Amino acid sequence: MGVFFVYILKASVCLALFYLCYRVGLSKETFHRFNRITLLSLMVFSFLLPLVEVTVKDVPEVSQPFLSLEESMQAVVMDSGHDSDEGILFFLLRYVWSMGRMFCLLRTCREEEWEGGITLYVHRKKVAPFSWMKMMVISEEDLAKNGMAILAHERAHILNGHSWDLLLMQVCILLQWFNPAVW
């Protein structure tokens, strides 16, 4: 568990630094597709960068023995593995619970098939419109008032694969729930 925890700590530092650079340099940009690609790339890159091993051929001699950064981290976190397990379990259960609530909501909706394999779910009660994978959910009230604009927006989310972005983000949250940059 110590090696995995050190990896997660390295990835969280990378994510925090990359996100800080994004906030300073690109967060004001209005190119939404570019911002999305940048943020997803930074997230993936922050998990890949700690896997790269840097080796030095000529190691300078040191008179005092010292621990490497990884050995120091492992020594500090040797006993704290249970806390990370509990955090991962909590956020995994939270995600499973929210997915279960969504599917319970879908069972009480009226269904309409749309083109491209998209299913529209219309609920009698007031629910905030959302989409997930190939499903769009809207209340009858919203459908009557601004239905076409809302459905066009949710359809764009589906066509752009934003559900996959959310899934990737949930994996990131599971692994780095302790990292403020992930939120």
CB of 102 closer than 8 Å to CB of 86: no
Beta-bridge partner residues of 13: none
Q: What is the pLDDT of residue 59?
A: 64
Chain-wide mean pLDDT for the chain? 84
pLDDT interval class at 72 (50, 70, 90): low
pTM of the model: 0.71
Angle among Cα 23, 21, 159 to the nearest 5 degrees reads: 60
pLDDT interval class at 75 (50, 70, 90): low
Which of these, 46, 45, 43, lies nearest to 168 by C-alpha position?
A: 43
Query: What's the pLDDT tens digit per position in 135-171?
Result: 999 999 999 998 899 999 999 999 999 999 999 989 8
Kindly state the percentage of the chain with pLDDT values over 90.
Answer: 45
Please, what is the end-to-end C-alpha distance for the chain in angstroms? 24
